[in-house]
Amino acid sequence: MKLALSCGPLALVLAACCGVERPTYLAVPEQIFREPVAAPIDLEDAAGWPAARDRLVAFLRAGGNQDNVEDGTIVVLDAATRYAPLLDAVARPENRDVEDLAAGVYAPWLAGPPVRHVVDARDEAPGRDRHVLFDGDFAWVFTASRRRLVGLTVVRRHDWRREE
């Protein structure tokens, strides 16, 4: 069993590096699979970040399902420690230029290059302000304004990552 569980990260690395189709667009899922469920987290609101971060961790721990958040149902047991370095990086203003997404600032945790096509039925019309990186079952949707990353929504992916 020890060996079995230690194989997990290796499997993830393999999944991230080879043999997996890169998604070309993101379909934004239903409300219960989004955090926040409505407008993106305001990344420029430093005072609001700790609470937003706590909600994000709870959502990730719940496997990206708000129903699970509600009643303590957990899918990603170690979400708090697993995502701590990524969330620390997101919190730093120097990491929030749009160029940072393609430059590999988030590469240790999120797969790129960023996807720009986002289908969200709540939009009035297609937009170009979102940049999406991927992490297993989650898509990290950054919203940009004047080349700065100003918002973040994390959603559970609904696509199945097929072997090429």
Partner 1 sequence: MALHDDLLDALRTVANVHLVARLVDERLGCPDPDDLRVFVPDLHLVSDAVRRRYSYNTNHTDLLADVLYQIAALRSRRGTDQTLSVYQLGDCFDLWREEPLPDRRTDAADRVFDSHERLMEVMLSRGVKTRFLLGNHDIDLHRWPNYRAWSRRYYIQPKQAAQPTLLALHGDVFDWIENLLPDEVQQLVVYVTHPMLEGSDYDLGDMVKVVARGHEGADYSKRIQGNASVGPVQALDGAPLPESFNVKRFGGSKKSTQHFAAARDLAKDLRRRHAGLDLRCIVIGHTHNARIVVPKSDGDDFFALVDCGAWIETCSAKVGSKTVRMPNAQLGVIGENDVRIYQLAPKGTA
Q: Is 8 in the site for partner 1 (CB under 8 A)?
A: yes
Helix, strand or coil, per DSSP, at residue 52: helix
When binding is defined by CB under 8 A, the residue of 41, 79, 110, 144 that contacts partner 1 is 79
**Alpha-carbon Rg of the chain, whole angstroms?**
16
The residues, any chain, with a CB within 8 Å of residue 82's CB and separated by 6 or more, are 60, 76
Size of site (CB under 8 A) for partner 1: 42
Is 44 in contact with 145 (CB distance < 8 Å)? no
Site for partner 1 in 99-128 (CB under 8 A): none
Query: Cis (ω within 30 of 0) for the bond into 36?
Result: yes
Least distance (Å) from partner 1 to the CB of residue 150?
A: 28
Least distance (Å) from partner 1 to the CB of residue 81?
A: 10
- Residue ranges binding partner 1 (CB under 8 A): 1-5, 7-8, 11-12, 14-15, 19-20, 27, 29, 33, 63-65, 67-68, 70-79, 82, 136-137, 156-163
